[in-house]
Amino acid sequence: MKINAIVALGMASLLLGCQSSENLSADVQATKSEPVMSVADSAHNARNSLDWSGTYQGTLPCADCEGIEVSLTLNQDGTYQLIRNYVGEVSGQFTSQDRFHWDERGSVVILSGEEAPNQFFVGENVLFMLDRQGQRINGQLADLYRLIKQ
């Protein structure tokens, strides 16, 4: 009688073990489904998520002067004021005012009425000047092409 109970218990364990691996195999296959693609949240961008309006200042590199002191004010109504002060031998101050618009992603402002480079990537309390193709400037001087919010 003890032998029958042991055999029955062994058979039950064996059956449960087999059933368990079938479920495990099904779970593994379910886990191996197609990868999940992460999609950028277009509802959150610099235009609607950051406090971007205000005055940004910095000194940009200059090929034939000591630098260009820049003050750029972006207003909530879509207008800007750009003041450039050339420092050194070729000195002079230039002021321009016009409208700006955002790129389709809402992360770059484009200054109307200005020749390229006239685009700035908007970050948290900083503007990064972009090159003529609208790309971030790379290289040793890359950190100098930014304006800090005042």
pLDDT, position 144: 95
pLDDT, position 96: 96
Q: How far is CA 146 from the centre of its chain?
A: 15
| β partners of residue 128 | 121, 146
Neighbours of 100 (CB within 10 A): 21
The CATH code for residues 53-149 is 2.40.128.640
pLDDT (tens place) for every residue of the chain, 150 residues total: 555 545 454 554 544 455 544 554 555 455 555 555 444 555 678 888 888 999 999 999 998 889 999 999 999 999 999 999 999 876 789 999 999 999 999 999 999 988 888 999 999 999 999 999 999 999 999 999 999 999
CA 24 – CA 41 distance, rounded (Å) = 35
Query: What one-character DSSP code corresponds to residue 143?
Result: G
Which residues, in sequence order, are CB contacts of 66 under 8 Å at separation 6+? Answer: 87, 88
Return the SS3 of 57: strand
pLDDT, position 136: 94
